Each structure stands twice: as structure tokens, then as C-alpha cells.
Amino acid sequence: MEHEVGQLIKLKKQHPCGSFEWEILRVGVDYRIQCKKCGHILLIPRIKILKMIKG
């Protein structure tokens, strides 16, 4: 599964602000993602984020 910078993804768990949608800011060993509703940014290891993505 390939992801690109700027791509929108949906995660299985809801963020505390109520959103499921995130934008990918960086791809590599770690993914940097930003919540589309509140703007919160997370840095998550690739293995963990691939399990979190709703597909």
C-alpha cells in the first residue's frame, strides 16, 4: 500500500475532536499526519500507521 504526501486517509479510531480524516505530511520510516478538523499533528511509525488505516 503506497501513500503520498497530501493524500487524505481515514483511521479506524476517532480523534478526540471527532474527526476520522487525516492528511499525510511526510512519508518514510515514520509518517507525519495532520488532523483535518483541529490541525493536530502526529508522528507515527510506518508499521503502526499501516494497521491504523481503515481500508
Mean pLDDT of all residues in 3-24: 95
Q: What is the pLDDT of residue 1?
A: 66
Q: What is the pLDDT of residue 21?
A: 96
Domain limits, the chain: 8-52
Q: Residue 14 pLDDT more than 90?
A: yes
**Which residue in the block uniquely carries the three cell numbers 471527532?**
18
Q: What is the pLDDT of residue 29?
A: 94
Encode pLDDT of 20-50 as tens digits. Answer: 999 999 999 999 999 999 999 999 999 999 9
Give the DSSP letter of residue 33. Answer: E
Mean pLDDT of all residues in 1-6: 88
Cα torsion through 20, 15, 50, 6, rounded to 10: 60
